[in-house]
Structure 1
């Protein structure tokens, strides 16, 4: 398979052009991934390579995704502004348009992860922070693809997909009390 040509924008950011080879059943989805940190988050909590692996374990279509790692203030502000809820959630997913960009056929979404909330959840659950982070990255990717957990049947499907993806990394089922 040919590698995707790389270009640079005017400000030096790396750009990728679309793949031209046909997709086959064995071809995994292509992923353009941007990583960002908000104010109060001084470093990425996981490597780009690890984030890509977690995302690809749950991704079923080509995608342009941004993972943004934020502090409580930004998460709370986004939650209040977009969901009218006044607290800092662990993860927020923003899918654009109908999520699937009709012109390119690619999923486009931002996934916002609140690092202090995830650290606290991991501490309370007595699990490694990386396990909690992997779970919520995968959870956000599934939301971006249209999965939800508002109703019991939806929750069962989403939890099943999450646990299958986590199993690939030898991370135990987060829905089973140990």
Structure 2
């Protein structure tokens, strides 16, 4: 008689279940560099928000800054996704305000529609979903909204490009369009 084959499925233990599968922590120099670059980007955005009286617009652009610095090689961080994602979201937010006024439920629907618009244009950029929402929630002239997000996203891409030239490890962008 032959012995039955051993069960090839490994036994899961409590220790293996709780072990983190997260990536390793970056080196302190990488963390410090990312912190400084992001802070500089955010200071530029706060300046734009202060001048245009649209400080809430800083929030989605701040998330964009983090992507450009910490996840610079991913598709959502590339210039096409950043600029086009924010622009389509601004337009959708403005159209929703025009049709339904400034309400939380309108902001939620605008963010959802922005996701669909970005995916249709092959320009997914998660922070831009928040762009549609804040455009609905913060009353501001339509041209101001478009210009703040256009200038803000182009400025962030430009800073990312300069940093990528100065620090070879942060090669950015991977592609432009």
TM-score, normalising length: structure 1: 0.29
Determine which structure has more spread, i.e. the larger CA radius of gyration.
2
More helix by share: 2
RCO comparison, higher one (Cα < 8 Å, 6+) = 2
More strand by share: 1
